[in-house]
Amino acid sequence: MSRLTTQRLRSAEPRLHPYRLGDGKGLALQVMPNGAKAWRFRYRFERREKMISLGLYPAVPLEAARRLRDEARDTLERGTDPSAERRMRKRHETQTFGVIAEDWLEKLSVDVQHGKRARATLKRSRWLLTRYLIPRLGRRPIRVIQPSELLVVLKQMELRGLRNAPRRALQKCGQLFRYAVGLGAAERDITADLAGLLERVTTEHHAAITDPRQLGRLLRSIDRFDSNTVTGIALRLAPLVFVRPVELATAEWVHIDLRIAEWRIPAERMKMRRPHLVPLSRQALALLRAAHNLSPGGPYVFPATRDWSQPMCASALNSALRRLGYRHDEMTAHGFRTTASTFLSELGYREDVIERQLAHSMRGRLRSIYNHAQYLSERREMMQAWADYLEQVRHSRGKGRMLGDAS
């Protein structure tokens, strides 16, 4: 069979029925009645005759068609069906970073609904991916993304002055790439190649007040804050319960029993993924009843101002402290935990009791069973004594520390 030439291809005229002009080794040009000219490669695989398209002429010229034919023949020699390889390649091309990311976020959302993940984790993951990563890598097949490409995106985040976000984004990408590996969309987790290449962020401890005079001034300042607002009540409740800000901001009425004075926080809302019980003092109950009077009937104790079906933002407590004049290096909403821990220790309460109320893992030993009601009697007494102590400090005007007796 003679090989095709460019002149012969150009001069091929359409006929009433399709016909082919062969070039050898399975390659032929099929001329259609409408004048279209398409490259075809015919081959046998596992005793079956097959055919794939190599594109249209003249968009795919003769030499390019021959190269595509030779690549397909090489695939056959490796024992692979060129048609199957093409389908796999197309599938990989559609498995972009953006598609896999949306799929992973959907799976994360299902985990949140089943209590396996915290809603804040989903929100943070979606923000990092949609704000910084998908706009730059979303259209790239995840299989072909190189570590250097991801590093450029993360370094751009660093140049914008973002402190923790680049390292968190790297962590999320690691989870995403491992998910892609499980799907067969990526060969490996490329984030392992970036270890140590991002700026190390110095751990910033949450600022807290541990002096009784300063604590008294803080409590009096909080009293002057607008107490008839959701944020005002939440800010007054924060030192009484000393839970993490996100746990307070997302508190739901269904988990609070005013009759028996208990707030049972489910595991999915806790950092350690373990249920937590907060005994409520008389002062805390009074604030919760005040919050209930402001409640629009939604599920959250402290709903968002613009959408009462959503909880308030945890950062609202820190914003309120800033408006009261406290800098981030003086006092934070998370700092109420440090404040309570420090004072309660000096008041003589046992470390195990304090640590359990802080929902910390017990230091110095492993506990095979986590009992959220452990030391409950002591914790009830401690929480009421702590609320009474805060009242004393609030009205003491800095006359000294009142240690009292702790049982």
Catalytically active residues are 244, 271, 334, 337, 360, 370
Region of 146 on the Ramachandran plot (φ > 0 left; ψ -120 to 50 alpha; else beta): beta
State the Cα–Cα distance between residues 348 and 178, nearest whole angstrom. Answer: 48
Of 390, 375, 233, nearest in space to 301 by CA: 233
Element holding 385 (H helix, E strand):
helix 376-396
State the Cα–Cα distance between residues 357 and 341, nearest whole angstrom. Answer: 9
Is the Cα torsion angle 278, 282, 283, 287 positive or negative in sign?
positive
> Tokens 């609904």 identify what position?
113
User: What are the distances in angstroms from CA 333 to CA 170, 206, 245, 319, 329?
Assistant: 27, 8, 6, 9, 11
**C-beta of residue 233 within 8 angstroms of C-beta of residue 294:** yes
3-state secondary structure 159-193: HCCCCCHHHHHHHHHHHHHHHHHHHCCCCCCHHHH
- The CB-based long-range contact list for 119-127 (8 Å cut-off, 24+ gap) reads 119/250, 119/268, 120/246, 120/250, 120/314, 124/168, 125/172
**C-beta of residue 320 within 8 angstroms of C-beta of residue 235:** yes
User: Taking the mean position of all CA atoms in its chain, how far away is CA 225?
Assistant: 33
DSSP state for residue 360 in the 8-state scheme = P
